[in-house]
Amino acid sequence: MKRRLTGIMALFTAVILGITAYFYISDRAADAGDIRSGQIVAANEIEQLIRMGQAEKAAQKAAELQQSIRISETGVNSDSRVLLFCALSLILLFSVFAYVYFMILRPFDKMKVFAGKIAQGNFDFPLNFERSNYFGAFTWAFDSMRKEITKARSCEREAIKNNKTVIATLSHDIKTPISSIRAYAEGLEANIDSTYEKRRKYLSTIMRKCDEVSKLTDDLFLHSLADLDKLKINLEKLELCRFLECSVSEIAAEQNDVCFEEPDFDVFVYADRNRLLQITENLINNARKYAKSQIDVRVMKKDGNVEIHFRDYGTGIADEDMPFIFDKFYRGKNSSGEQGSGLGLYIVKYITGQMGGTVVLENCEDGLEVTVSLPAVQR
């Protein structure tokens, strides 16, 4: 395109110069010949009049000759105007070319180079935004596209890295309970369980470890979903207090470390039974794992909502971890030495949100309190 425009400009320049030269030379030659002939004739007439003694007529003819000479000089000025017009035309032509080059061609060349870099996969090549040219909005759009693609690729790399991390973590976590199951199974096979109590303890441990493996595989399944919005939430109306009483008693089993404070009222919510049980298990198991203390569960009504409070008496969560505690794969400082994938609270928050509720964590003087709030409904 640049070569084509240069060729067009050169053609117009040649045409302007040719036309100017033609008119200049032809007009100058014709005018010069006519003026010179007239001046010669006038000079001869003046000479004849002087010889004949007619001085008055000779003076008149001389005045006419002077006027003719002035006219011929004016004709030279006309030629100068032709040359001036030619110069102005060339200046205008070059100005138009410079404007087109700097405002259109050069920005277009930059965009062409930028597109080539992007096609080669080089997303670190910036395209500066220039308000002065007609491609300003396009350059901004192209550079924004580059930034978005760079950001998307970075997120993709981070997601792949997180996937590898969580799979490695879950694989390691699954090995631990499986090793315990194998050890206790070998003990049963070798008849080490000499008493009924010991045999019952072995079987109870095996079942508990099986439950741990089941929870870890559930986490792995949830992680395998590209998006949690594929997780089905089947809402139904249920009485929360009775549901929590049964759920907590099952989760507590024989450990007796969870206390449910049964309220003196009934309250109904729309929730998914299985997902609400998953929330309860996640929060109680987190408290068991990190706080290693008594866990109190109670229900309260507040501003048209029902709140489920999970209270432990451990060390709580570090303040610097609080802003990120619900992020996927994030594990706080108090998680060192403990198995986990960093998905528990992330899943809790997502499921609660899908049921129209919220989750709040608050450090207390002697532990942590997690509040799950759900909208209450009429009977």
Confidence of residue 250 (pLDDT cuts 50, 70, 90): confident
Categorize the per-residue pLDDT at 374 as very low, low, confident or very high, splitting at 50, 70 and 90: very high
Hey, which of 130-144, 251-265, 267-281 has the most confident mean pLDDT?
A: 267-281
Residue, of 170 and 218, whose pLDDT is higher? 218
User: Can you tell me the mean pLDDT for 243-254?
Assistant: 81
Spatial separation of the C-alpha atoms in residues 178 and 128, rounded to whole Å: 58
Looking at CATH, the fold of the domain delimited by 138-224 is given as: Helix Hairpins (1.10.287)
The pLDDT tens digits for 187-216 are 777 777 677 787 887 788 788 778 777 777
pLDDT tens by residue, 5-52: 667 767 777 777 777 766 666 655 555 555 566 556 666 666 676 777
Show the 3-state SS of the chain. Answer: CHHHHHHHHHHHHHHHHHHHHHHHHHHHHHHHHHHHHHHHHHHHHHHHHHHCCCHHHHHHHHHHHHHHHHHHHHHHHHHHHHHHHHHHHHHHHHHHHHHHHHHHHHHHHHHHHHHHHHHCCCCCCCCCCCCCCCCHHHHHHHHHHHHHHHHHHHHHHHHHHHHHHHHHHHHHHHHHHHHHHHHHHHHHHCCCCCCHHHHHHHHHHHHHHHHHHHHHHHHHHHHHCCCHHHCCCCCEEEEHHHHHHHHHHHHHCCCCCEEEECCCCCCEEEECHHHHHHHHHHHHHHHHHHHCCCEEEEEEEECCEEEEEEECCCCCCCHHHHHHCCCCCCCCHHHCCCCCCCCHHHHHHHHHHHCCCEEEEEEECCEEEEEEEEEEECC
Q: Average pLDDT over the chain, rounded to whole?
A: 76
Going by C-alpha positions, the residue among 284, 279, 216 that lies closest to residue 249 is 284
pLDDT at site 85: 72
CA-CA distance, 349 to 339, in Å (whole number)? 20
Over residues 215-232, mean pLDDT: 63
pLDDT digit string, tens, across residues 92-111: 877 777 777 777 677 777 77
Q: Under CATH, which architecture does the 230-377 domain have? A: 2-Layer Sandwich (3.30)
